Amino acid sequence: MNVFHRHLLLRHLRMCGIALSVLFAVSLVQGAPGMLEAVDGGSSSLLRGAGTVARAWCVAFGTVLPLALLLGTLFTVGDLARYQELTALEAAGWSRLRILSPLLLVAILATLLLASMQLADLVAPPGTHGPQSHGARAAEAPIAAAALTELHARLAHPLLGFLSVAVAIPLASTRRRVTVYSNFGMAMLVLLMYYIATATLHALGRHGGLPPALAGWLGPALLGAATLLLWLRPRR
Q: Which domain holds residue 68?
A: 3-125+140-232
| Sign of the CA dihedral running 162, 164, 167, 172 | negative
Residue type, 197: A
Q: Which residues have a Cβ under 8 Å from the Cβ of 89 and sit 6 or more positions away? A: 4, 99
User: Is there a domain that residue 18 lies in?
Assistant: yes
CB burial of 161-173 (b: ≥16 within 10 Å; e: otherwise) equals bbbbbbbbbbbbb
Report the domain count for the chain.
1
User: Is there a domain that residue 134 lies in?
Assistant: no
Distances in whole angstroms, Cα of residue 226 to Cα of each of 114, 152, 166, 189: 22, 21, 10, 14
Q: What pLDDT is attached to residue 150? A: 86
User: Is there a domain that residue 132 lies in?
Assistant: no
Percent of the chain surpassing pLDDT 90: 24
Nearest to 217 by CA among 147, 146, 160: 160
Residue 90 confidence (pLDDT) above 70: yes
pLDDT digits (tens, 9 = 90+) for 118-163: 776 644 444 455 555 556 666 555 568 888 888 888 889 899 999 9
pLDDT digits (tens, 9 = 90+) for 167-179: 988 888 876 666 6
